[in-house]
Amino acid sequence: MVGGGQLARMTHEAGIPLGIRFKLLSDTPQDSAAQVVSEVVIGDYRDLDTLRAFARGCDVLTFDHEHVPTEHLRALEADGIPIRPGPEALVHAQDKGVMRAKLDAIGAPCPRHRIVSDPADVERFAAEGDGFPVILKTVRGGYDGKGVWLVRSSKEAAEPFLAGVPVLAEEKVSFVRELAANVVRSPHGQAVAYPVVESIQVDGVCDTVIAPAPCLSPRLSAEAQQLALRVAEELDVIGHLAVELFEIRDADGEPAVLVNELAMRPHNSGHWTQDGAITSQFANHVRAVLDLPLGDPRPRATWTVMANVLGGDYPDMYAAYLHCMARDPQLKIHMYGKDVKPGRKVGHVNTYGDDLADVRERAAHAAGYLRGTITE
């Protein structure tokens, strides 16, 4: 796996019981995954020679993030290394312009969008629809709110163009809530769909995920799952695909979804599966990229809630950690081994049970206590 972040850490964890030999390409020995994996190569994923040397002896290459240059992936594939997901799939998660064009081509519902050339073009884009505000995104390089701007006039639209990367304009969707439809697909073409979840963002960062999404109509749930399965098939995705969705009301006032983002790797919206599903997203990602039969994606509990643990003002979480474990012996804590910095994702917690209010309270309490925003 290329990339030493928490997704690689948790993928290794899921691969241990499957008997998988896991080799990691990591930026530094201190990276989240590098702390727990036996076979670690330290190197730069942007360097083709490093990637080539790393890939030697691997049965398959997969990714913790989407930042490996597409041309390097094509070169590795030409060398005969199975890349999963492959470069022709992964480019849709790397380049938002390519993604939107493909989703349009397969008829997947998207926010109104087009590539814009300068602030004056942003003005025209706004005028073509309901006006400002407009969302601008650099087509490459953004995540967790980075590389995304909400602009209220063409005067505010200069910054996104400074990087010299094409800029995608999108209508600001008036959504009811955010959902995610997560699926896993193998080279055989076998695919599984997890229950559709609700994802609650705070300041552009995922804060809480509720599985399954409460009060979601069975029709829309099935539509969202089928949409994600269709995207996986049409884009030839191998491994875990997260389809981030906006739930909206259509012209008739009926619930509908629009595709917000795609991620082709284990995803924050699937962390609940570690403790809430029969097979976790990490285990199924490993099974998919190795073309093993996939595991059952169904939930094990009525409700599972994931809350991200962000760093707070106190670098030492130990006392809070003890408190949370003692307060809730059912709490499932997942720490990433990262130094605590304010706002940095350093872990997450999962809770599950039959009473959604209780399950949410327990997750929120633990995440808030670990961050230091709740002191009781």
Is 172 annotated in some ligand binding site? yes
Question: Does 325 sit near a copy of itself (CB under 8 A)?
Answer: yes
**Hey, which residues does 345 pair with through a beta bridge?**
310
The answer to whether the CB of 233 falls within 8 A of the CB of 249 is no
Nearer to a copy of itself, 154 or 304 (CB): 304
Is 376 exposed, middle or buried, given 0-12, 13-18 or 19+ CB atoms closer than 10 A?
Answer: exposed
SS (H, E, C) 110-168: CCCEEEECCHHHHHHHHHHCCCCCEEEEECCCCCCCCCEEEECCHHHHCHHHCCCCCEE
**Which among 153, 135, 155 has a CA at the least distance from the CA of 145?**
135
H or E segment to which residue 224 belongs? helix 218-234
Q: Interaction with a copy of itself in 14-53: which residues (CB under 8 A)?
A: 16-19, 21-22, 34-38, 40
We find the least distance from the C-beta atom of residue 20 to a copy of itself, in angstroms, to be 9
The answer to whether the CB of 235 falls within 8 A of the CB of 92 is yes
Question: Does 287 sit near a copy of itself (CB under 8 A)?
Answer: yes
We find the least distance from the C-beta atom of residue 368 to a copy of itself, in angstroms, to be 18
Nearer to a copy of itself, 161 or 352 (CB): 352
We find the least distance from the C-beta atom of residue 376 to a copy of itself, in angstroms, to be 15
Binding a copy of itself (rule: CB under 8 A), the pick from 86, 87, 295, 312 is: 295
Q: Interaction with a copy of itself in 224-283: which residues (CB under 8 A)?
A: 274, 278-279
Dihedral, 226, 230, 232, 233 alpha carbons, nearest 10: 140
Nearer to a copy of itself, 21 or 155 (CB): 21
We find the least distance from the C-beta atom of residue 94 to a copy of itself, in angstroms, to be 28
Question: Does 329 sit near a copy of itself (CB under 8 A)?
Answer: yes
From residue 334 to residue 373, the character string flagging contacts with a copy of itself as x (rule: CB under 8 A) and all else as - is xxxx---------x--------------------------
DSSP strand pairing (134-138 vs 177-185):
unpaired
Q: What is the DSSP letter of 85?
A: S
Provide the token pair at 234.
């049409």
Q: Which residues contribute to the site for a copy of itself (CB under 8 A)?
A: 9-10, 12-13, 16-19, 21-22, 34-38, 40, 274, 278-279, 287, 292-296, 300, 321-322, 325-326, 329-337, 347
